[in-house]
């Protein structure tokens, strides 16, 4: 049984931990508002860009379509771009992203495809490396910036586009979390390269629209921008998901610390009362012996 001093020290230690988790919860809550606003503000632009893509893509086909739209003509080599966080203490967010990436990798491998990984963020490296150490193409570090933005998305996109043009892969998939709320961040897998033909009729399906310059020239400029926008949106969604998951995890940790403090305090009081009772019994027994 633990001594009174050990129990008192442990109560003090848990209280110190509770202060840290409470402070981190408040910081995450403050950052969440900005991150959520940024992620939600970027969604309409991405949706509108997809609509424009649908209109243009419906007017080009075959060899006249840009490489980013028509692809290499093969789907043998697949690259999984996995977007994880750089910091921990955010619950099961990174574990869920890695789980989705591994599930997609197993599915592709089962279909006879070659799979490699392009890892963004630190926290997904170790679990993926344990199973696919020889299939990791690159680690893109975003920990040296305060908050990743379009500059980082542009650098990732340029690297991916260069690799695609060199023929290093045929299809790239983007694995990232979508922020729903502080309690829910859903990992999703979307095809990034070649740019999938947008579903639906597009914005120009029933209208006569003439483009100047032609659709192919516009797509040559628009398709790389679309890839960068998707990556930028994924980074924004990651930031919002990280802060939301961190706030929830720290709130749970604070509550658990409070429950543990209550249990230890009860145990401490019982042990202290038992020690006092024992001393009183010894004193009374000694007095009666005299």
CATH of the domain at 238: 3.40.1380.10
Q: Is 229 among the domain residues? A: yes
Torsion of CA 39, 45, 51, 56, to 10 degrees: -130
Q: Is 287 among the domain residues? A: no
Q: Is 46 among the domain residues? A: yes
b/e 81-109 (16+ beta carbons within 10 angstroms → b):
bbbbbbeebbbebbebbbebbbebbeebe
Using CA atoms, how far apart are residues 18 and 15, in angstroms rounded to an integer?
Answer: 5
With bands split at pLDDT 50, 70 and 90, how would you rate the model's confidence at 226? confident
Dihedral sign from CA coordinates of 195, 115, 241, 125:
negative
Q: Is 130 exposed, middle or buried (0-12, 13-18, 19+ CB in 10 A)?
A: exposed
Q: Is 1 among the domain residues? A: no
Taking only the tens place, the pLDDT of each residue in 106-152 is 888 888 888 889 888 888 788 888 888 888 888 887 777 677 778 88
Q: Is 258 among the domain residues? A: no
As annotated, the active-site residues are 90
Q: Is 118 among the domain residues? A: yes
pLDDT of residue 212: 62
Q: Is 2 among the domain residues? A: no
Using CA atoms, how far apart are residues 52 and 202, in angstroms rounded to an integer?
Answer: 7
Taking only the tens place, the pLDDT of each residue in 152-192 is 888 888 888 888 888 888 888 999 888 888 888 888 888 88
With bands split at pLDDT 50, 70 and 90, how would you rate the model's confidence at 213? low
The two structure tokens encoding residue 149:
């933005």
Q: Is 286 among the domain residues? A: no
Domain that holds residue 95: 22-249
Judged against a pLDDT cut of 70, whether residue 61 lies above it is answered with no
List the 171-179 sheet strands across, edge first: 136-140, 114-120, 77-83, 171-179, 185-193
Dihedral sign from CA coordinates of 97, 102, 103, 108:
positive
User: How many distinct structural domains can be found in the chain?
Assistant: 1
Give the residue with greater pLDDT, 276 vs 206.
Answer: 276
């Amino acid at each position: 049984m633990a001594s009174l001093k050990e129990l008192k020290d442990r109560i003090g230690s848990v209280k110190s931990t509770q202060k840290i988790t409470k402070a981190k919860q408040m910081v995450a809550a403050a950052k969440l508002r900005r991150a959520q606003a940024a992620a939600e503000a970027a969604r309409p632009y991405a949706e509108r860009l997809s609509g424009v893509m649908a209109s243009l893509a419906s007017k080009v086909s075959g060899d006249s379509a840009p490489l980013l739209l028509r692809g290499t003509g093969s789907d043998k080599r697949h690259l999984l771009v996995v977007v994880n966080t750089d910091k921990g203490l955010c619950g099961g967010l990174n574990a869920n992203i890695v789980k989705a990436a591994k599930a997609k990798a197993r599915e592709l491998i089962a279909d006879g495809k070659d799979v490699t990984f392009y890892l963004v963020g630190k926290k997904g490296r170790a679990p993926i490396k344990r199973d696919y150490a020889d299939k990791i193409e690159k680690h893109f570090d975003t920990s040296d910036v305060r908050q990743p933005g379009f500059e980082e998305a542009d650098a990732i996109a340029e690297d991916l586009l260069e690799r695609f043009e060199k023929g290093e892969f045929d299809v790239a998939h983007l694995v990232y979390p979508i922020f729903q709320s502080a309690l829910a961040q859903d990992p999703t897998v979307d095809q990034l390269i070649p740019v999938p033909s947008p579903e639906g009729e597009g914005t120009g399906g029933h209208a006569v629209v003439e483009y100047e310059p032609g659709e192919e020239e516009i797509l040559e400029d628009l398709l790389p921008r679309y890839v960068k926008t998707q990556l930028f949106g994924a980074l924004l969604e990651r930031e919002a998901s990280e802060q939301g998951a961190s706030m929830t995890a720290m709130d749970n940790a604070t509550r658990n610390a409070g429950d543990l403090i209550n249990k230890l305090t009860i145990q401490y009081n019982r042990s202290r009362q038992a020690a006092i009772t024992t001393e009183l019994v010894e004193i009374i027994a000694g007095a009666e012996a005299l």
